[in-house]
Amino acid sequence: MMKKKKGIHALYAEDPIEADRRLWGRVSHAESRRGFLKRSAIATMGMALGGNIVFAHHMPAGLIPASLAHSIQPFEIPGKDPGLVVLNDRPLNVETPAHLLDEPITPADKLFIRNNGLPPASLNVDQWTLSIDGESVQKPKTYTLAELKSRFKSYTYQLTLECGGNGRSEFNPPAQGNQWTVGAVGCPAWTGVRLKDVLQDAGIRPDAVYIGYYGKDVHLSGDPEKVVISRGVPMAKALEEESLIAWAINGEDLPLMNGYPLRLVFGGWPASTSGKWLYKISIRNKVHDGPKMEGDSYRVPCEPVAPGTQVPDENMCIIESMPVKSLITYPRSGARLSQGKKLDIRGHAWAGDLAVKDMHYSIDFGITWQPCTLEKPANRLAWQQWKAQLTFPRKGYYEVWAKATDSEGKAQPMIVPGWNPKGYLNNACHRIAVMVV
Amino acid sequence: MFVKNCIHFITTVCLTLSACHSQHDTQESKEDSIQTTVSASDSIDQATGLVIDEALPIVKGNCTACHSAQLITQNRATREGWKSMIVWMQQTQNLWDLGNNEDIILDYLAKHYAPEQVGRRKNLEDIEWYDLH
């Protein structure tokens, strides 16, 4: 009979304060839930960490020391495919290898995770509400989940969600942050109500400029007063038909890590605008100024800069629509095939607020380009499927490159595009390796 | 020394919980096969993936209380670049004043996690070849 294992994560998930006590003999101050009442517990935890905990009196109760968080039990994310790649386990940042994104509609278990903080520790869906407030709301309102679902018409759209930092790993000099390669993107079918229907129900004053969201994720420091991330979009994007307050992916509840029970979805814009664990939307009379709206966050130099340049805040502009991009999802990179054999390749292409007009591939490092068959999107802001059949002239090493062109004639670059301090918007063409033998 | 402490810790926890002996075994057997990702001469701390040197306990004590060590190991920056991340964390993320440890931490990061010159686009690397029929 299998012995039931209980790892450090399970213990902390059940009762973090009790886990502190059982593992370390730690009792924190009742009011602040920080610090250690018994000095011996600091020593126990410090021994496990291999060093003293500096400023132990600030350390929040119920916090797994992160250096232990991935040593004691194998890392598994409930509801996610084990083939996904964990870039960071605190906060959780997980990307999907290109070949696992082959389906036209991304399954929930293959959608990337980009968390800025920790998901809410406890969720009471029956009590969950969404409030609309802000300087430019006519009448602040609060809706329960049930009211949202019953009072407003629901819509389902396939919407492409891509992290603004997807591709960051290729920038030189390196950009700080999670080193995404190509897999912080997906295009599931989202179900919810139109944001504009809800905003209009509360009433929008003529001076409205922007909406800003608030979610129930928890700051990494454990400080309950700190907002993890609060971004948003200008009114024009907020009022588009495809801008949703969503509760479902592909007909099922959102996965916890993707914002259960409620989130925003703005197809084609940096995914950080699509707030998760959503409980409040403020209609602002100015550009929203929540955490990660300012400084280098999700902003790029307004004018192009040389790699490595220090750019003052006032010369940084907020990223809006994402650039044209594509992926080769079949075959997986590394295919070895016999000479003379035809190879079918396929994938997806998307272009922020725009559509993709043309799709090409090259097997000679961009010297010549051949057209691919390109499908229309399922709806506006959904990625489009492309395919081609190709043959190789002789044995040897090849790279298949894929290049999409948007409806305004802008194509993907073959090298990494303009450097920016935080490494956003890398839409260089995707490449896979093929060996013909 | 740290690995020993860590195993001692795991054993202690196992006694408390009677729960994780097999994981204890895995921990020991994996020690020989740790991949070095930074440079061939560095040895890697299994619990965090960080390069082992005398500053490691201070780095762990300060950096991994809030975020994973993976946020360090996947990044590369100059000393100034690492310093700017610390300042950002102090301004926005409740990181404390590091005092005398700041120089120790910056020396460690700049030494072990410095940028490499990769040009405008790298070769495709780590290709796992397979037969496609």
- Domains parsed from chain B with CATH numbers: 1-30 (no CATH), 53-117 (1.10.760.10)
Contact A367, A351 (CB under 8 A): no
Give me the tens of pLDDT residue by residue for chain B, a chain 133 residues long. Answer: 333 333 333 322 322 222 222 333 333 333 333 333 455 567 999 888 999 999 999 999 999 988 999 999 999 999 999 999 999 999 988 899 999 999 999 999 999 999 987 788 999 989 999 999 8
- For residue A173, say if its preceding peptide bond is cis, omega within 30 degrees of 0: yes
Q: Select the residue of A47, A73, A221 nearest B94 (Cβ to Cβ).
A: A221
Taking CB atoms and an 8 Å limit, are A67 and B117 in contact across chains? no
Please state, in angstroms and rounded to a whole number, the distance separating the CA atoms of residues B63 and B56: 10
Listed by start position, the domains of chain A span 8-69, 108-318, 325-436
CATH superfamily of A108-318: Oxidoreductase, molybdopterin-binding domain (3.90.420.10)
Residues of chain A contacting B69 with CB distance shorter than 8 Å: 66-67
* Chain B residues 24-63 with CB within 8 Å of chain A: 27, 45-48, 56-58, 60-62
Asked whether the predicted pLDDT for residue A45 surpasses 60, the reply is no
Share of chain A above pLDDT 70, in %: 83
Domains A108-318 and A325-436 share a fold: no
Within 8 A by CB and 6+ apart from A160, the residues are: A185, A186, A187, A267, A268, A350, A381, A382, A383
Reduced to 3 states (helix: H, G, I; strand: E, B; else coil), residue A102 is coil
Structure tokens at A363: 């097997």
* Chain B residues 62-81 with CB within 8 Å of chain A: 62, 64-71, 74-78, 81
Look at residue A381 in the predicted model and tell me its pLDDT: 98
Residues of chain B contacting A51 with CB distance shorter than 8 Å: 56-58, 60-61
Q: How confident is the model at residue A376 (pLDDT cuts 50, 70, 90)?
A: very high
Running DSSP on this structure, what letter comes out for residue A31? T
**What is the predicted ipTM?**
0.77
Q: Is the dihedral of CA A70, A73, A75, A76 positive or negative?
A: negative
Q: What's the topology of domain A325-436?
A: Immunoglobulin-like (2.60.40)
Please state, in angstroms and rounded to a whole number, the distance separating the CA atoms of residues A99 and B10: 38
Buried b (16+ CB within 10 A) or exposed e, A363-383: beeeeebeebebeebbebbbb
Running DSSP on this structure, what letter comes out for residue A272? G
Contact A326, A362 (CB under 8 A): no
Please state, in angstroms and rounded to a whole number, the distance separating the CA atoms of residues A42 and A35: 9
Taking CB atoms and an 8 Å limit, are B81 and A336 in contact across chains? no
The pLDDT tens digits of the residues spanning A77-129 come to: 888 998 999 999 889 999 999 999 999 999 999 999 999 999 998 889 999 99
